[in-house]
Amino acid sequence: MTVNAARALAGARTCFVGIGLPSAAANLARRTVEPGLVLIYESGTLGSKPSRLPLSIGDGELADTADAVVSVPEIFNYWLQAGRIDVGFLGAAQVDRYANINTTVIDRGPGRPEGRLPGAGGAPEIAASCGKVLMVLRHSRRNLVERLDFVTTVGHGSGPGDRARLGLPGAGPVAVITDLGVLRPDPETAELVLTELHPGVSAEQVCEATAWKLRVAPDLGVTEPPTPVELAALRELSDRGASDA
């Protein structure tokens, strides 16, 4: 999952990075497929080059290794909302068939309090204004749901034309990369379709792990296994983060 997410950043110049799985993928991309990738975090760091995976957007490693540190309003007003960032990279607690995201609250059922999540952060603005958006999350019926408990971030809304109607300038989500495969929006319907499997995974397995009736592309592909170079770079990042923690 992380390796394929990193590969998806090949050719990108600038990436607005979310913490967690997106950060691991973006930092791996800078060490493998796109050494010149400029990593931008919403805390105000431009061109961060962390030697380990940051723990949060406030991790001092991001500022220490950045080309510049600016204010949060400048990051959003001048860089993000002005359309200066190629790719936004997001995680999610829940994603629906149109790649809308919930990171706010989970309905835990009758008689139980809501499960509170970290919240929106900069995700709504990232999904609105970046040239395109990549998403990465683990694949289960709890995460890929029929209906979001709360719409935190608009992906493709309720289908084609919604982003234009809402005045969202970016292209929105172009791929959802999971630990089972890759889903991409259909150009006609904007609904997520399974386009690639990871080695050893079946289409039936992916469909079973998805809460809606997932469509499968007729030319379903299989992703390339991680190379020794990619694995070594990822393990180095992970090992440094674990030793620092």
Which residues are part of the catalytic machinery?
Answer: 42
Give Cα separations from 110 to 2, 106, 107 (angstroms): 36, 12, 9
One-letter amino acid of 174: V
Place of tokens 């500022």: 63
How far is Cα 196 from Cα 231, in angstroms, rounded to an integer? Answer: 20
Tokens of 41: 């975090």
- Rounded to an integer, what distance in angstroms lies between the CA atom of residue 209 and that of residue 220? 17
92 in Cβ contact with 119 (< 8 Å): no
